[in-house]
Amino acid sequence: MTTAQEHHHVACPYCGFGCDDLSIGIRGGSVDVSQIECPKARAGFDVDDKPSEPRVDGKPVSYEQAIDVASTLLRKAQRPLISGLQADMSAVKRALALAERTGGVLDHSKGDGYSVQVRVIQEKGWFAATRSEVTNRSDVIVLLGTQAVNAAPRFFEQSAWPAQSFLPDNLKNRQIIFVGDEWSSNLGTSPQGKKVQHIKVAKKDMPLAVGALRLLWEGRTVPETTAKTLPLDQLRALTDTLKKSLYGVIVWETAAFIDAYGIDEAEVLVHALGQMTQQASDTHRIVGFPLGGDGNIVGAGQIALWQSGFPLRIAYQKDGRPYHDSRAYDGKKLLADGDVDALLWLTLFDAKDSPPACKKDTPSIVIGRKDLEMPYEPSVYIPVSIPGLDHAGVIVRLDNVVSLPLKALRTNDMPTACDILDLLTQKL
């Protein structure tokens, strides 16, 4: 095809925020990304349609040969890890069926942040809201330890400072307050010239600040030792602002908490924030909006839930029964410790979602984009076409309920991940 085509209202799978308003030109097989402002989206869509070759141990082979070898490796495995899982719903569905059949462990490359949130919900729960509620309703947005843009590059343009809301006063009066260490000032101003307020809390003190906010909400005294290290007056003012708000939103990024404080402390923090939303809801409308959800992890989790009854991090028994443990079945760790004996890594969105390190004798099968960055040569590599560019599919946005249709923007002769997974399953 040489004709040029313009696609509008294109949905984007390159972060969990789930925009659907991209305009993308296709000329021949190549993608014109010049109209895309978001850097993550631009990188994701910028890939040509030239065929690529499967490899076995680094040598080019046919698709048939690659599938043959992959199926043999999977057949030999006692407990394969099936992960990555950055894929559209159809491919995830097949990967899950494969895990059930092979007695494999199912995880996602973003499983750490997800599993923290899962545990918080399993423990106590929270009061949350979805994206367009934040966009339209909020009059106070508190960014707790996140500048949002790493997780969702278009958060400010789309949700914090949108062009309009059906509740115009809430938008006009909207205050955005960042609680955290350094603030990039170029993000700090709305189109109307309003600034993000910054309550400076050193990174190490964030857990204390969250604790203090909870005490202040309840009208209790903050212990002096804590108070000394925190800008208590500002936190008190923040509490007052929240108490006066019509619709307050607390934004955080679980993955960033994990990076900063480790997984256990991150869980304590998210737990506290969940509790805060629940407690505040007794009298106020204050909701949580956790950022994340990259690589369709939410969608993958949804299929896992309706097919097995459990969220991700499932170890299927040989008879197919799903055992779920969000700590024990951490794929990366199982792989590093040699507790799984093969890896099937499926990844179709982020080209940097490289397969994790394996033990030397653990065979690895990668089904992925042709531009996937590979830190090591896997035993089998099978390049496939990309959902939302080469073929249709569905993903689910970060806020759990909203799914987006990914369209085929061009034709591509490469097989889809579903084609490969079907053939692989047939051979088992």
Beta bridge partners of 316: 322
Toward ligand SF4, which CB reaches closer, 41 or 286? 41
CB 227 within 8 A of CB 213: no
Q: 428 contacts which partner out of ligand SF4, other proteins, none, CB within 5 to 8 A by kind?
A: none
Toward other proteins, which CB reaches closer, 299 or 356? 299
DSSP three-state, residue 55: strand
Q: Which is it for the CA torsion 289, 290, 291, 294, positive or negative?
A: negative
Write out the two tokens for 8.
Answer: 């509008």
The binder of other proteins chosen from 2, 58, 163, 219 (CB under 8 A): 163
Beta bridge partners of 290: 252
The binder of other proteins chosen from 84, 153, 293, 311 (CB under 8 A): 311
DSSP three-state, residue 105: strand
CA atoms within 13 Å, Cβ hemisphere of 38: 27
Beta bridge partners of 249: 141, 287
CA-CA distance, 67 to 250, in Å (whole number)?
47
In whole angstroms, the minimum distance from the beta carbon of 374 to ligand SF4 comes to 23
Write out the two tokens for 90.
Answer: 């159809």
- Tell me which residues in 113-152 interact with ligand SF4 (CB under 6 A): 152
CB 312 within 8 A of CB 29: no
Instruction: Show the site string, 38-77: x = touches other proteins by CB under 8 A, - = not.
Output: ----------------------------------------
In whole angstroms, the minimum distance from the beta carbon of 116 to ligand SF4 comes to 21
246 sits near other proteins (criterion: CB under 8 A): yes
361 sits near other proteins (criterion: CB under 8 A): no
CA-CA distance, 403 to 396, in Å (whole number)?
4
Q: 136 contacts which partner out of other proteins, ligand SF4, none, CB within 5 to 8 A by kind?
A: other proteins
118 sits near other proteins (criterion: CB under 8 A): yes
206 sits near ligand SF4 (criterion: CB under 6 A): no
106 sits near ligand SF4 (criterion: CB under 6 A): no
Write out the two tokens for 326.
Answer: 């969000």
Instruction: Show the site string, 315-334: x = touches other proteins by CB under 8 A, - = not.
Output: -xx-xxxxxx----------
The binder of other proteins chosen from 188, 211, 310, 333 (CB under 8 A): 310
Q: Which is it for the CA torsion 355, 36, 114, 178, positive or negative?
A: positive
CA 325 from centre of chain: 20
CB 140 within 8 A of CB 241: yes
148 sits near other proteins (criterion: CB under 8 A): no
DSSP code for 355:
P
153 sits near ligand SF4 (criterion: CB under 6 A): yes
The phi-psi region of residue 296 (left if phi > 0; otherwise alpha if psi is between -120 and 50; otherwise beta) is left
Toward ligand SF4, which CB reaches closer, 347 or 379? 347
In whole angstroms, the minimum distance from the beta carbon of 17 to ligand SF4 comes to 4
Q: 14 contacts which partner out of ligand SF4, other proteins, none, CB within 5 to 8 A by kind?
A: ligand SF4
Write out the two tokens for 415.
Answer: 């097989």
In whole angstroms, the minimum distance from the beta carbon of 88 to other proteins comes to 6
In whole angstroms, the minimum distance from the beta carbon of 133 to other proteins comes to 5
Toward ligand SF4, which CB reaches closer, 40 or 271? 40
- Exposed/middle/buried for 244, CB within 10 Å: 0-12, 13-18, 19+? exposed
Q: 350 contacts which partner out of other proteins, ligand SF4, none, CB within 5 to 8 A by kind?
A: none
How would you label 300-330 residue by residue, b for 16+ Cβ within 10 Å and e otherwise?
Answer: bbbbbeeebebbbbbbbeeeeebebebeebb
Toward other proteins, which CB reaches closer, 234 or 400? 400
The binder of ligand SF4 chosen from 33, 40, 98, 171 (CB under 6 A): 40
For residue 134, which amino acid is it?
V
266 sits near ligand SF4 (criterion: CB under 6 A): no
12 sits near ligand SF4 (criterion: CB under 6 A): yes
406 sits near other proteins (criterion: CB under 8 A): yes
Toward ligand SF4, which CB reaches closer, 357 or 401? 401
| Interface residues toward ligand SF4, by CB under 6 A | 12, 14-15, 17-19, 38, 40-41, 152-154
